Every structure is written in structure tokens, then in C-alpha cells.
Amino acid sequence: MSMKKLILLLLFSLSLQAFAQQAKPLVQFSGVIYDQDSNSIVPYVTIKNYSDGGKAYTANYKGYFSFVVHEGDSLVFSSVGYKKLWLNIPHNLENKKFTALIKMKTDNIELPMVTVFPWASTDEFKIDFLTLKFADDDLEIAMKNLSRQSIRQGIASLPRDGGEFNGTSFQNNHIGLTNKNMAQVNPLLNPLAWAALIKQISDGNKTKNKD
């Protein structure tokens, strides 16, 4: 068969197909798309008419759609997270209108488990592993907590409790009552203290002069 006859045969076949498609009655196809399990709206579902060259339509954000098809057309509804749904337009429809309530079923896809590591390469993992510092066991932790330095730091940072404040206050009150009737001497008014101070200063100056 020559190339010319093959092209003519192909054109004739396409013409017959187009004529057969045009011969089918037109139907206004409308509907709303829901989730089969939750009965919630499924928006923006893609609808393809594979009987009409794969023409694609899209439902709106409320799941509503409406477009013209032919009787007997095969359509498929698809959306991310849902299984594909096939639908054939019935024949001999009254008023050439067809309304459908489309319920799509969710498609649960089990993905393989992925473990994320903080190392970009095997070499980085080896370096981190070789320089890894293991945590102290319970005995070493206890020895560190009972060391003199740790106890001193704890005493210095530990706030006083009520019992300690009570004991200190009682001791100060006792000392004050004991020394209540004793005469308190001011060292600034004591001439002997002043003489000792002047002597210490004078001896200190003499020592500096000898040096």
C-alpha cells in the first residue's frame, strides 16, 4: 500500500470517527463531587473525557461541575489523594441532561520509612563516632557530686532556709542581751590605740628608708 493511500485511509477513518461522535446526542452533564467517607466537598477535581480526545475539565472550589458531553462517553475523575473514578454517560436521556452525585474514595499510599541522619557522608560519621564522648555512669556521677569542690560550690550557692535564719537571729539576740550591761569602748577615743597606730606607721617608714 502506497503512502498516499495510507494517508487517505487514515483521513477517512478520522472522518468516520468524527461523524460518529457528532451523531451522538449532546448531553449537559452536571454534578457535585464529595468524599465517600466524610461527605465533605472535594474541590478542583480533574475530569477527562477519553471518548472526546481526552478533553479535560475542572470542578470549582465547591466541587461543582457542568459541561457538554455525548451519550456513551467515558469520563474519569481524578484528584490527588483519591482513587480514579470512571463514569459512562447513559444513552436515551430525557431532556438531554444528566446530573450525578460523584463520591470519590480516598487513596491511602504507604510510603517506605525514611531515616534521616545528620551526617552528609560516611566519612563524617566515622569522625564523629571516633571522637564520641560517652556519658558518665551513675558511680562516676555520684563521685563527682560528692567531691569537696562540688560540695563547696553547692554550699556557696545554696540559699539559707528558715531554720538557719532562726538560729542566726537567736544567736545575735543572745549576744546582744549578754553584752547589754557592758560598757562599749570606742577605739577612736583610746589614746593608747592612737599611740600604737602612730608607732606602727613610724616603724613602717623606717623600714622603707632602710630598703
Domain boundaries in the chain?
22-104
Cα(10)–Cα(8) distance, integer angstroms: 5
Query: In terms of Cα–Cα distance, which of 18, 26, 22 is closest to 89?
Result: 26
The CATH class of 22-104 is mainly beta
Residue 155's beta-bridge partner residues?
A: none
* DSSP character at residue 61: T
Cα(56)–Cα(39) distance, integer angstroms: 25
Q: Taking a C-beta distance cutoff of 8 angstroms, is the pair 106, 82 a contact?
A: yes
Cα(156)–Cα(142) distance, integer angstroms: 19
Q: pLDDT tens digits, the chain, 211 residues: what are they? A: 566 556 656 655 655 555 445 568 899 999 999 999 999 999 999 999 998 889 999 999 999 999 999 999 999 999 999 999 999 999 988 888 999 999 999 988 777 888 888 888 888 888 887 887 766 677 777 787 778 888 888 777 777 677 777 777 878 777 777 766 666 666 666 777 777 878 877 776 555 555 5
Residue 66's beta-bridge partner residues?
A: 30
Distances (CA, A) of 154 to 3, 29, 122, 137, 150: 100, 82, 44, 21, 6
Q: Taking a C-beta distance cutoff of 8 angstroms, is the pair 86, 74 a contact?
A: yes
* DSSP character at residue 19: H
CB-facing half-sphere around the CA of 86: CA atoms within 13 A: 6
Estimate to the nearest angstrom the gap between the alpha carbon of 27 and the chain centroid: 49
3-state secondary structure of 100: strand
